[in-house]
Structure 1
Amino acid sequence: MAQTVRPRRSVLYMPGSNARALEKGRSLPADGLILDLEDAVAPDAKAAARTTIREAIAAGGYGGRELVIRSNGLNTPWGYDDLVMAAASGADAVLLPKVESADMVRQAEAVLRAAGAPDGQRLWCMMETPLGILNAREIAAASPRLGALVLGTSDLAKDLHAAHTPDRLPMITSLGLCLLAARAYGLAVLDGVHLDLNDDEGFAASCRQGRELGFDGKTLIHPKTIAACNAAYAPAAEEVDHARRIIAAHAEAVARDQGVVLVDGRLVENLHVENARRLVALAEAIAALEAGA
């Protein structure tokens, strides 16, 4: 399903059991928040965390930020109740952990549908196991409710016995397979977290690489990284200006029934115009989100 342009430069994980953190999320400049019921919540706190998340979303105040609830898996004692709560929560999406097959997506969708989830509530899938990566295509095609693939690079590196290197070469195959699957089926795709919060240079390099590869944005574990991530994934002012000139030049050429147009000495074709429109739409969506935050 083709996605509308929505800023997802920075998507911050927040512990669903921490009411103060969820309150702080209302003022953070992240494009999206993942309210976590899985890794960030102890087993004996999961039921209370559902209530905390539900009440936080109901209270509002998050502006245009995208709100996503990460559930526990349906193979755990908590996953079913997580999905039932999420269906009626008002969250924009539900993030499923450790997705490894299309059947896992369809099972979760069936629970959401039975619990009355609105059609607009999306399913996002964590891609964090070798089997999940190998099945990325069937997962991406599993349901029209799918909205995004999210890389879980920490768990994936562990299962691959791979090192966390600055150039992330050990992860490139996995990143590429998920990017291909997401783009083939019109989904958003988000890069994994950077674990070393003292490594500003490494974080910046990871953001640059992610954008160059084609990711829409990055998942984060601390608010201190939001500003740098937003800057890395937002189109620069000169990019937007160039895109607008491409659009205008192409429109003028079409009006004159001309088949060829040059911008800054470079040939402009339909594919360049399509990408230019995407960049301008993204810049406008970012401006609107920041104005309403």
Structure 2
Amino acid sequence: MTARPRRSALYMPGSNARALEKATALPADMLILDLEDAVAPDAKDLAREQVLSAVAGGGFGRRELLIRTNGLDTPWGLADLTAAATSGAHGVLIPKVESAEAVRQADRLLTAAGAPPDLALWVMMETALGMLNAKEIASASPRLAGMVLGTSDLAKELHAHHTALRLPMITALGLCLLAARAHGLAILDGVHLDLEDEAGLEAACRQGVELGFDGKTLIHPKQLDAANRAFAPDAAALEHARRLIAAHAEAMAEGKAVVLVDGRLVEALHVAEARRLVALAAAIGG
């Protein structure tokens, strides 16, 4: 796991050239340049061309770029994957992954198409079968870097409701979180669909932080601020983290493995999390 910020991951329709141009100035940590759900069937080829041109043109700064391809069971999936392999993007996101073999197949195709070793592979987790196979999927390829929750498709498949606490989907979210953390992967929460529900978005972001997600996928630039604020350590958390690190270092210098800070026991595991927060804050600042 790295401290690379992934607080906000904004879907950008590949068929919208204006949106792709605008993306270079948006305060998103990640951009998911979409060839799949956000693109009509008759615009798939155009979207691929525009996304490849946008990535090649640069101007995205430190934003992490993923290209979401169409599935290999569609007429466009293979061409998408082949083109993305040498596009210059940081990673490729494949949809509706349900098995380890789907990951390995994508890896083989990317390698055959000339993908560099550092091109990351990300997977959409959005079906019941995918959730049940999360453990196997998470360990399927050394190229695999992260999971993205597709909660809209998941709710549809489960016949579940989009409730405030998302209890109908909490088991599925937990299975993916366990698999991702067990195998050192990043993991991003699903989207919040109601663009006018600012309070609901903020609550969903807080829940995502509490559950352990690295960030949230978003469908509109107006949602960026809420995600960036929620998934970044605040000033109080950073100050506390630095105090833990300093107190533990002092204790270790005195030959002690544990120390009390504000009446609470601090061990190496707490210090590791504190260091992660400090590193994350530094990466965000950078």
Same-fold call, TM cutoff 0.5: yes
| Match status 1:126 vs 2:151 | no
Tell me the distance in 1 between the aligned counterparts of 2:134 and 2:264: 36
**Aligned residue in 2 for 1:96:** 94
**Aligned residue in 2 for 1:217:** 215
Q: How does 1:227-246 map to 2 (within 5 A)?
A: 227-246=225-244
Tell me the distance in 2 between the aligned counterparts of 1:256 and 1:118: 48
Q: Secondary structure at the match of 1:26?
A: helix
Following superposition, the deviation at residue 257 of structure 1 comes to: 1.4
Q: Secondary structure at the match of 1:6?
A: coil
CA RMSD of aligned residues (A): 0.8
Deviation string 1:227-250 (CA, Å, 9 cap, x unpaired) is: 011001111111111111111111
**Aligned residue in 1 for 2:253:** 255
Tell me the distance in 1 between the aligned counterparts of 2:148 and 2:173: 10
| Match status 1:176 vs 2:174 | yes
Question: Tell me, which stretches of 5 or more residues in structure 1 are unaligned?
Answer: 289-293
Following superposition, the deviation at residue 153 of structure 1 comes to: 0.3
Deviation string 1:189-242 (CA, Å, 9 cap, x unpaired) is: 110000011111111110011100000010000000100110011111111111
Deviation string 1:141-174 (CA, Å, 9 cap, x unpaired) is: 1001111111000000000000111111101001
Following superposition, the deviation at residue 259 of structure 1 comes to: 2.9
Tell me the distance in 2 between the aligned counterparts of 1:259 and 1:26: 47
Following superposition, the deviation at residue 253 of structure 1 comes to: 1.4
**Aligned residue in 2 for 1:165:** 163
Match of 1:49 among 31, 47, 50: 47
TM-score (norm 2): 0.99
Q: Secondary structure at the match of 1:143?
A: coil
Deviation string 1:100-153 (CA, Å, 9 cap, x unpaired) is: 000000111111001111111111100001000110000001001111111000
Tell me the distance in 2 between the aligned counterparts of 1:47 and 1:112: 19
Match of 1:203 among 201, 204, 219: 201
| Match status 1:279 vs 2:241 | no
**Aligned residue in 2 for 1:291:** none
Tell me the distance in 2 between the aligned counterparts of 1:228 and 1:203: 7
Tell me the distance in 2 between the aligned counterparts of 1:157 and 1:254: 49
Tell me the distance in 2 between the aligned counterparts of 1:260 and 1:4: 26
Following superposition, the deviation at residue 42 of structure 1 comes to: 1.4
Which segment drifts farther, 264-273 or 98-107? Answer: 264-273
Tell me the distance in 2 between the aligned counterparts of 1:252 and 1:178: 38
Code of the residue aligned with 1:221 in structure 2: it is: I
Following superposition, the deviation at residue 251 of structure 1 comes to: 1.2
**Number of residue pairs the alignment of both structures matches:** 286
Following superposition, the deviation at residue 258 of structure 1 comes to: 2.1
Q: Secondary structure at the match of 1:204?
A: helix
Tell me the distance in 2 between the aligned counterparts of 1:272 and 1:118: 37
Higher relative contact order (CA 8 A, sep 6+): 1
Code of the residue aligned with 2:166 in structure 1: it is: R
Q: Secondary structure at the match of 1:218?
A: strand
Following superposition, the deviation at residue 48 of structure 1 comes to: 1.5
**Aligned residue in 2 for 1:62:** 60
Tell me the distance in 2 between the aligned counterparts of 1:29 and 1:183: 27
Over the matched positions of the two proteins, sequence identity in percent amounts to 71
Q: Secondary structure at the match of 1:76?
A: coil
